A and B are shown apart, each in its own frame.
Chain A
Amino acid sequence: MRLETRGNCLEAEKFLALNLQPPTSIDLHEGLVMPYALWFQKAGKEALNLVGGKNASLGELIRADIPVPPGFSVTTEAYQEFLIEGGIKENIEKILSPIGLQDVASLEEASQTIRELIRTTPLPKGIEEVICSNYQALSQVCEVTDIPVAVRSSATAEDLPGASFAGQQDTFLWVRGDKEVLAKIKSCMSSLFTARAISYRIKMGFPHEKVLISVGVQKIVDARAAGVMFTLDPLNGDPSKVVIEGNWGLGETVVSGQVNPDKFVVDKVTKEIQRTISQKWTECIFDPEKGMVCHLDIPHGRQEVQCIEDNEILELARYARRIEEYYRSPQDIEWAIDKDKPFPLNIFLVQSRPETVWSQQKKEPVLGKKSAYDLLMEKALQRIKIQS
């Protein structure tokens, strides 16, 4: 039998067994008090304002029966409450109001000041408690004390079609323990005020106070290999292909373009795989001795070894299709293969967002509304150029 529900859902069931109740239900229409934290599966696109684009998309993936590592969002409500209760909201507005695009030096200075302000202002006790209890619940569910998590920002104006804020906020990998988790959550919040983010908002005309931030706290996949995939061929827009790129270790080397990844083009219909195995010189892994994520050289013997198995490739492609069908638009997806779990339980999808190049194009018929006879005539008149 295939285990369709795993990762998050499986662990969510454990919640009930453990009699924990962090996944607060929300009803957005009744104007109830908004929660500070929400489990991914509880918040989909309807909760965009509360959990941001990235986290909402994880919620959607879980609803589409996609294996997503478990975790929760620290909501924009928590962020706003923090600014108000911490008494820094007005300060920030004051610092930002005179800033113009031309003034690079003061932009940088404002950024520094605001980020320092956020870092040094403690989170309100109530919010801290909610975060810590959720984090402990996550650890308990995963059966690991102080489960290592990825802490990522998820802004409300991010990842929306046409508003590519991607990569403008921070990601922290392998964060462990209450104290670290809280610190990194604040760092993520402060990433809304990097000089780049501020100037981008000014340029695009987004009011600073309208762009809120949520933070995702998600169990990290200790990845044997990871990478990205597209539900069409990004080179030529071919809708019948899934293109998967991957490298050994965590996905950061692929996302940031540090290595030439292995590339697999899978035909959605025939399931044929075309593969390009690259020489992959470095991987990003967690070093338990240093207690941090490091780049390590890949030994020669492993550099040109295909980083994922064929059955994993096909399973990833299957999920890619499902996600694309769920969203009804081409997607750009991040995935990871767990080091220890057996296939197919080792496959996790950690993010999905709309593909931005081909899906922005107008859906013009490529055959120009032609009949078979038109096309036959065209073909009959064609000459094939031979280059000498």
Chain B
Amino acid sequence: MPLEVEYSKELEGWEEMYPPMYIFSKDRKEWEEKQFWFHDKIHAPEAMYPLDLIFQEAWQISLSQYTTRVFCIPPAQGIAQRMVGCYMYITPVAPPPPEIIGEKAGLFQKRVFYVFDHYDELWGLWLKKFKALGEEMNSIKVPEDFPKFEPDDTVFPEPRGYYTSYDVIDAWDRLVDLMIKGWQFHFQYLNLAYLAYLMFADTCRKLFPGIGESTIGKLVAGAWVQMFRPEEELCRLARLAAPIKEVAKIVKSDASPKAKIEALRKTAEGNDWLVEYEKSKDPWFFVSCGSGWFHYEGSWTTKLEIPFGYLKGYIERIERGEKVERDLPKIDKARAELAEEYRKLIKTDEDRKSFDDVYKAVRTIYKYAEDHLFWVEHWFHTIWFEKVREFGQLLVKNGMLKGVDDIYLFNRFEVPILIEDMVTTWALGVDVPSRSQYWQAKTEKRKKILEAAKKWTPIPALGTPPEEIAEPFTVMLWGITTDKVQDWLKGMAVVPKDVTELKGFASSAGIVEGKVRVVKLLEDITKIEQGDILVCPTTNPAWAPVFTKIKASITDIGGLTSHAAIVCREYGVPSVTGTGIATNVLKTGDIVKVDGNTGIVKILKRA
């Protein structure tokens, strides 16, 4: 039961890092104990930094409200979150009473069918709206420092009336406000896209009871997906650079990205290429090196050596006469042919008609699931992290914190207090102390707690298992089934060396044996050798170029429509995703057999 969890002594004080409604409490005990809380390994696989919780806070509200109050999926309610020793747990809330379900059904019909009928134009409107939001966030000016005296132009001809203290407070407030708003948009069509996917999967299984999950994923996956654009832009830039010897030489050199850019500036060809580079960079390099959920992942814009590393590889491959681009028309044709082959196997014309209708519906709206990801989790979040970094720098400059990233140790409700302390101290004049020692002591304590939390293994689930689940994300994203619940209930802590077999989603077909390469951080991908089996927490577009090198991939997190699954299917590389524990259990050098048909990874030999 939630209130009975025992924490180690080092974790003491973890509760104060998070907002009070995130903590299991006596006042809500009766309700909380009736729910089934499971560790959300997809969004919060690791101990949570307080400020990174903002995305979780935002999705709890937004995802839930679209299901309960906007598009009204009849028996489904929202997903509630709690923190347990720095790890996030979630629960799909039980269905509402029948009369509410009835009311919602009417609204669902009216609203959801409208969206399906108008999706293409609605997507255009969404993108316009969302880009404007990101631009707005990007335009927020975080003062570099506090002026000794406000400059003349803020006084003449008319005193501005508000000054740097307000600018700093306002900039933070707007930043947070925009992040919350962006996440309201995030779910605008996502619940519906998932629901459509589940409907299509059901339809396929009714027609072809033995159809593979990965085949369903393949049928739905789009070729022209915004999430792949960063990689496509790299190919484009490599193509431009390759034929120009001077440019290619500089881009391929071992110099730092900064030195490369400086060297390119010196020649006309180099400058021409840089113009194209800048075009690609915004927005397409605003891509996280991880999932986009954590500040420590970094992005291509903060780690330019990553896109430049890929560029080097691409140029070399182009020089060898290889093709680096994904053949999108071919990928799309293969999907269409796959669908046609199955369609032909349908026995009655009536079923064929239903199938066509369902397929069209899912193909229309599922694009949202693929496209929103780049814009929200990558582009928008990258802007956020850059802005937060500017605040971090300001706090460090003013002696409030020691490290720029220390700001992430305070939740979004605490940061304004820090900021207020800082601006007040400035406003009060010279030789006035702030509570910097208090903040820094808190920073140190919290760092220790998070360190301890990383070593602590959270139990998979708490509370009472549900009798039924109607919430589409729970089914689609976390894949909650009887089996999974059973697994969690067993609740055993995994002893990595005793594990001989891992189970996950059979995401891309094929069987191979080979040597494992565990890559926890993107920086380590340079270590991957041709023919390695990639083992990683999760992959995303920033990783795309490694898929041509590897023999198979195994991830901790991610279902059949996860990035690794999609890319592996395209490259014909076997993949098992969502094993939960692969990076814990496997070590670089282990020999494993990956079966992408069954989702089973066998450990053949330990390194």
A residues apposed to B, CB below 8 Å? 233, 236-241, 265, 267-270, 272-274, 363-373, 375-388
Contact = CB atoms under 8 A, between A and B. Distances in A.
Nearest to A358: B347
**A interface, by DSSP: helix, strand, loop or mixed?**
loop
B597 A384 contact: no
Contacts of A366: 206-207, 351
Contact of A380 (B73, B203, B209, B468): B73
Contact of A370 (B74, B195, B208, B354): B354
B196 interface: yes
Given A268-B345, A373-B113, A237 B355 contact: no
A269 B341 contact: yes
A365 B198 CA distance: 20
B460 to A, nearest CB: 15
Contacts of B342: 240, 269
Nearest to A310: B511
Contacts of A269: 215, 338, 341-342, 345
A364 B346 CA distance: 11
A367 to B, nearest CB: 4
B593 to A, nearest CB: 14
B30 interface: no
A383 B348 CA distance: 28
A267 B215 contact: yes
Contacts of B468: 383-386
Most buried by A among B76, B112, B113, B199: B199
Nearest to B466: A386
A241 B210 contact: yes
14 contacts: A240-B207, A241-B210, A267-B211, A272-B212, A274-B598, A365-B354, A367-B207, A373-B113, A376-B195, A377-B109, A383-B468, A384-B468, A384-B470, A386-B466
Most buried by B among A364, A369, A376, A378: A376
B12 interface: no
Given A270-B215, A367-B354, A233 B210 contact: yes
Most buried by A among B109, B112, B358, B466: B358
Given A365-B354, A367-B354, A379 B208 contact: no
B354 A375 contact: yes
Contact of A367 (B73, B75, B206, B509): B206
B202 A379 contact: yes
Interface string B60-102: 0000000000000111100000000000000000010000010
Nearest to B199: A379
B360 interface: yes
B345 A239 contact: yes
B210 A387 contact: no
A209 B279 CA distance: 88
Interface string B544-567: 000000000000000000000000
Nearest to B343: A269
B288 to A, nearest CB: 32
Contact of B209 (A238, A272, A388): A238
Contacts of A378: 199
A274 B597 contact: yes
Nearest to B468: A383
A272 B210 contact: no
Interface residues of B, number: 56
Contact of B597 (A241, A273, A372, A383): A273
B11 interface: no
Contacts of B469: 383-384, 386
B467 interface: yes
B345 A375 contact: no
Most buried by B among A240, A241, A370: A240
B361 interface: yes
Contacts of B105: 377, 380-381
Contacts of B267: none
Given A236-B209, A272-B212, A386-B468, A375 B348 contact: no
Given A363-B347, A386-B468, A388-B467, 17 more contacts: A233-B210, A236-B210, A239-B207, A239-B346, A241-B208, A241-B210, A265-B210, A272-B215, A273-B597, A365-B348, A373-B116, A379-B195, A379-B198, A381-B105, A383-B470, A384-B480, A385-B482
B485 interface: yes
A76 B597 CA distance: 50
B126 interface: no
B470 to A, nearest CB: 4
Contacts of B215: 267, 269-270, 272
B207 A375 contact: no
Most buried by A among B112, B210, B465: B210
B472 to A, nearest CB: 8
A300 to B, nearest CB: 22
- Top 5 nearest A-B pairs (CB, nearest first) are A365-B350, A372-B361, A236-B209, A367-B354, A379-B199
Contacts of A237: 209
Given A384-B470, A388-B465, A369 B195 contact: no
B351 to A, nearest CB: 5
B363 to A, nearest CB: 11
B22 interface: no
A240 B208 contact: yes
A367 B351 contact: yes
B528 interface: no
A233 B345 CA distance: 13
B338 A270 contact: yes
Given A366-B207, A386-B482, A372 B360 contact: yes
B187 to A, nearest CB: 16
B466 to A, nearest CB: 5
A268 to B, nearest CB: 7
Contacts of B482: 385-387
A350 to B, nearest CB: 26
Contact of A365 (B351, B360, B485): B351
Given A367-B354, A369-B354, A383-B469, A239 B348 contact: no
Nearest to B361: A372
